């Protein structure tokens, strides 16, 4: 399974031209092969919160956008194992709890994480593509 970081979900649905060629290729290949594209429930919070704070402009209501995410992608539930992994990420990994949970979801689920976030990719704690 491929895990999409929050910004990748948003770009995939409303601004796909912002995705890198490698990210688009990985998403396309997953669709061709029948591999699922997943998301963390944390991403739903991040999207709703960004829209509420006017840091993200949607062409629909928050509820409609979240419904579209749920219809197109596969929810990877937050588990105790993911929470523990997030808490135990090595010291150099940055402190954003949302990024820690999303990254740990990729680690625990053995997923490739598609992310533009250099800090996550440079930490080299999970398979990541951009």
Nearest C-alpha neighbor of 22 from the set 96, 116, 101: 116
pLDDT of residue 95: 84
Q: How far apart are CA 96 and CA 10, in angstroms?
A: 19
Residues of the chain with pLDDT under 50: none
Report all structural domains of the chain as residue ranges with CATH numbers, in order of start: 2-129 (3.40.50.1010)
For residue 117, give Cα distances in angstroms to 5, 18, 82, 95: 9, 13, 20, 13
pLDDT in tens, 55-87: 999 989 999 999 999 999 999 999 999 999 999
pTM of the model: 0.94
pLDDT, position 92: 78
């Amino acid at each position: 399974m491929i895990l999409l970081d929050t910004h990748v979900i948003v770009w995939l649905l409303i601004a796909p031209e912002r995705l890198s060629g490698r990210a688009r290729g990985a998403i396309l290949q997953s669709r061709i092969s029948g591999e699922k594209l997943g998301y963390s429930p944390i991403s739903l919070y991040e999207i709703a919160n960004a829209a509420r704070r006017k840091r993200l402009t949607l062409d629909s209501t928050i509820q409609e956008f979240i419904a579209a995410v749920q219809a197109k992608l596969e929810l990877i539930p937050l588990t105790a194992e993911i929470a523990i992994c997030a808490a135990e990420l090595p010291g150099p990994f940055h402190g954003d709890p949302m990024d820690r949970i999303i990254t740990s979801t990729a680690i625990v689920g053995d997923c490739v994480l598609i992310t533009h976030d250099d800090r996550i990719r440079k930490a080299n704690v999970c398979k990541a593509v951009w």
